[in-house]
Amino acid sequence: MGHRTLRATEMSQQGTRLMSAGIPVVIDSDPGVDDALALALALVSPELSVRAVTTVAGNVDLATGTANAGYLLRVLAAGRGIRLAQGCARPLARELVTAEEVHGSDGLAGITGHERWRRRSSDSTNVPSDTVDAIIDEVANSPEPLTVIALGPLTNVAAALRRDPAAMRRAAAIVVMGGSLHAGGNVTPQAEFNFYVDPEAADAVMASGLPVVVTPLDVTHQLAVSDATVESRLQSRSEPRAAFLGELIQRARAEEFTGRGGKLLLHDPAAVATLLWPELFTMQAHALAVDGGDGDQRGAMRSTGDEGGTERTRAEVAVDVEANEVVSRIVERLVAGGA
């Protein structure tokens, strides 16, 4: 099976480019606690220019996720005028499966009911329902090739590829949090949640021929906030943004959500981190497929290699990570708040 491990120099060159240019990104998400942390990280990172946030049904239904996205932009990016659009309310070809048991009924570990951080009805009013066109528009009209960061089920991205493949070929990359090569699943023994919810969409993105970078459970299971240090540091800051993130992390680590002794996995921030610090990730090239159907292989991601006999472009898959350094840098960025 042909694997190519990117050389450190190649990754650091990409890192240099990021520092000089500051790449434009659209963040497609299903907020979700870790989506919120990923958005916060992207918004305070000068290497990235967030052009739009789009929502997809996943962790919670589309209306709740969209209300959360508007709420997060109000708390984390007030006045920046970042475009918001809502997208697909259900997967391409099957019923929606959500994850309130992980993220809470409000999708944000209950923080939206907190008297200080109450979510407002205005957070979800007048949000255009044109996410698929918005993704195509941002990709097609960006002066600099734009990267789509996909943090939820890939329904919107697959729909954009289907609607206007020529425009989407202008994308610099599709950076995906999803899948699992050898780490097992988090919904079934084989499937990771984003790929389980919409396996047809995930497979379509892997077969698209676009440059795809996948951050699977193989590395995100190594990236966690597992003690009270981070929330304490954030909550001791005067900025409302930091206090909000501290409260969110504290709630998300509470037993009723993690059920694993307070360990909050940084799945979605890890995908953003592959753009910020690529040199901290070991990447391998794999031609990937995602199984559909309704059997026990639903949503399973596999490397087809040569035996697959398909002409799938090889995705860059993160297979290992300098975990302590990545977690430390994510935390420092969130605490510093882009200062």
| DSSP states of 211-255 | -EEEE-HHHHTT-EE-STHHHHHHHTSSSHHHHHHHHHHHHHTSH
Q: For residues 224 and 266, is the Cβ–Cβ distance under 8 A?
A: yes
Beta 212-215 vs 264-265: how paired, if at all?
unpaired
Q: Is 35 in the site for Ca ion (CB under 5 A)?
A: yes
Could you give the CA distance from residue 244 to residue 304 in angstroms, rounded to a whole number?
43
Residue whose CB is less far from Ca ion, 35 or 192? 35
Residue whose CB is less far from ligand RIB, 192 or 316? 192
Residue 137 binding target from Ca ion, ligand RIB, none, CB below 5 to 8 Å by type = none
Q: Is 32 in the site for Ca ion (CB under 5 A)?
A: yes
Alpha helix (H) residue ranges in the chain: 8-21, 33-43, 62-76, 100-103, 131-141, 155-163, 165-168, 193-197, 199-206, 217-220, 229-235, 240-252, 255-258, 267-276, 323-336
Residue whose CB is less far from Ca ion, 28 or 316? 28
SS3 76: helix
Query: Least distance (Å) from ligand RIB to the CB of residue 267?
Result: 4
Q: Which stretch binds Ca ion (CB under 5 A): 82-90, 216-224, 264-272, 276-284?
A: 264-272
* 334: its two tokens: 């969130």
Query: Least distance (Å) from Ca ion to the CB of residue 306?
Result: 32
Per CB under 6 A, residues contacting ligand RIB are 30, 32, 34-35, 58-59, 151-152, 177, 186, 192-194, 267-268
Residue whose CB is less far from ligand RIB, 142 or 274? 274
Query: Least distance (Å) from Ca ion to the CB of residue 59?
Result: 6
Q: Catalytic residue among 114, 182, 267, 286, which?
A: 267
Could you give the CA distance from residue 235 to residue 243 in angstroms, rounded to a whole number?
4
Which residues inside 267-306 make contact with Ca ion, applying CB under 5 A?
268
Name the nearest CA neighbour of 214 among 195, 188, 197.
195
Query: Least distance (Å) from ligand RIB to the CB of residue 180?
Result: 9
Residue 186 binding target from ligand RIB, Ca ion, none, CB below 5 to 8 Å by type = ligand RIB
Instruction: Decide if 267 is catalytic.
Output: yes
The catalytic residue positions are 267
